[in-house]
């Protein structure tokens, strides 16, 4: 295998880059976050609000998802929003709230970093650095993540091929950081009845091509609260190593993505169902 990537020709012209290539690590990479392992037999559930809005909203949501099995808490402090007039996140104030509640619940934290200038600040507070869909090909950001010692949750670009997704991960690995979690979150197609088209075939494809753990975000994938449970179950049946889901204590008042956020009760019910699917594919929800 050449240094510039090679081998495992999928189809003519398709090359899996060298460092992410499963051949270099047939047993797979385990990403370990404060003792929780992604990429092994266990399935990890990440849940929380789209954006941190207030201590009440964050704390109530965090306590509830923790009680129902979410090992990791998600919550955006810096939000990439299509319109400059939308809520852009609480910034450092949001990061502080995440730390406060995580010290209480013992959950790990994942939050997004959008700007190379934010790495130092965000790294102080978070356990996992998220690189969002819109930044999957933001190469300075990927390189910075590669120089970090924190695990990175890399979301697939909403119109990125599998090949480009792997190359984005290669940018991070190439800087020395192999603690990468890949996340399928829906791609853009002509279909408009769902927000995106969740591409679950990406799960077995990525598991085949790379040694990195693969999780699914059914919330962004379909954009419809009532559809999240079906797609969450399907993701686990397809072989996902984890799920990241938006949950809000009052979805109807959420400042962002309310229509795709599960309520606390819906999340609780779903966790029961997910456990049964996990068993049916010889795995277990951690």
Interaction residues for its own copies, span 83-122 (CB under 8 A)? 83-85, 114-117
- Return the residue of 92, 164, 178, 266 that touches its own copies, per CB under 8 A: 164
Q: Which stretch binds its own copies (CB under 8 A): 8-16, 34-42, 249-257, 261-269?
A: 8-16
The residues with which 130 forms a beta bridge, in sequence order, are: 112, 153
For the chain, what is the largest distance between any 2 Cα atoms, rounded to a whole number of angstroms? Answer: 54
Any contact of residue 204 with its own copies (CB under 8 A)? Answer: yes
- Return the residue of 92, 134, 250, 269 that touches its own copies, per CB under 8 A: 134
Please report how close the Cβ of residue 47 comes to its own copies at its closest, in angstroms.
19
Secondary structure (H, E, C), 148-180: CCCCEEEECCCCCCHHHHHHHHHHHHCCCCCCE
H/E element, 243: strand 242-246
Any contact of residue 26 with its own copies (CB under 8 A)? Answer: no
d(CA 247, CA 53): 13
Give yes or no for a contact between 110 and 128, defined as CB atoms under 8 angstroms apart. Answer: yes
Please report how close the Cβ of residue 51 comes to its own copies at its closest, in angstroms.
14
Cα distance between the two ends of the chain: 36
Please report how close the Cβ of residue 130 comes to its own copies at its closest, in angstroms.
15
Any contact of residue 238 with its own copies (CB under 8 A)? Answer: yes
Q: Toward its own copies, which CB reaches closer, 237 or 269? A: 237
Any contact of residue 140 with its own copies (CB under 8 A)? Answer: yes
Please report how close the Cβ of residue 72 comes to its own copies at its closest, in angstroms.
23
Any contact of residue 259 with its own copies (CB under 8 A)? Answer: no
250 closest CA partner among 58, 88, 111, 100: 58
């Amino acid at each position: 295998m050449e240094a510039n990537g090679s081998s495992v020709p999928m189809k003519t012209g398709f090359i899996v880059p060298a460092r992410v290539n499963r051949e270099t690590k047939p047993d797979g990479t385990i990403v370990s976050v404060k003792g929780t392992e992604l990429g092994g037999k266990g399935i990890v559930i990440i849940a929380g609000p789209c954006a941190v809005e207030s201590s009440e909203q964050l704390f109530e949501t965090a306590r509830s998802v923790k009680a129902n099995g979410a090992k990791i808490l998600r919550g955006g402090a810096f939000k990439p929003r299509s319109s400059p007039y939308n809520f852009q996140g609480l910034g450092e104030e949001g990061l502080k709230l995440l730390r406060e509640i995580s010290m209480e619940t013992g959950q790990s934290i994942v939050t997004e970093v959008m700007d190379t200038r934010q790495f130092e600040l965000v790294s102080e507070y978070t356990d996992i650095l998220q690189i969002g869909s819109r930044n999957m090909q933001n190469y300075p950001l990927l390189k910075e993540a590669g120089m970090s010692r924190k695990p990175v949750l890399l979301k697939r670009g909403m119109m990125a091929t599998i090949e480009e997704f792997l190359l984005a991960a290669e940018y991070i690995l190439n800087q020395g950081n192999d603690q990468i979690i890949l996340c399928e979150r829906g791609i853009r197609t002509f279909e408009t009845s769902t927000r995106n088209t969740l591409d679950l075939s990406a799960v077995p494809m990525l598991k085949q091509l790379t040694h990195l753990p693969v999780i699914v975000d059914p919330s962004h994938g379909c954009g419809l609260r009532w559809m999240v449970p079906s797609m969450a179950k399907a993701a686990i049946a397809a072989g996902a190593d984890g799920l990241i889901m938006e949950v809000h204590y009052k979805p109807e008042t959420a400042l962002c993505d309310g229509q795709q956020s599960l309520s606390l009760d819906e999340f609780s019910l779903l966790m029961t169902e997910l456990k049964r699917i996990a068993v049916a594919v010889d795995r277990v929800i951690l």
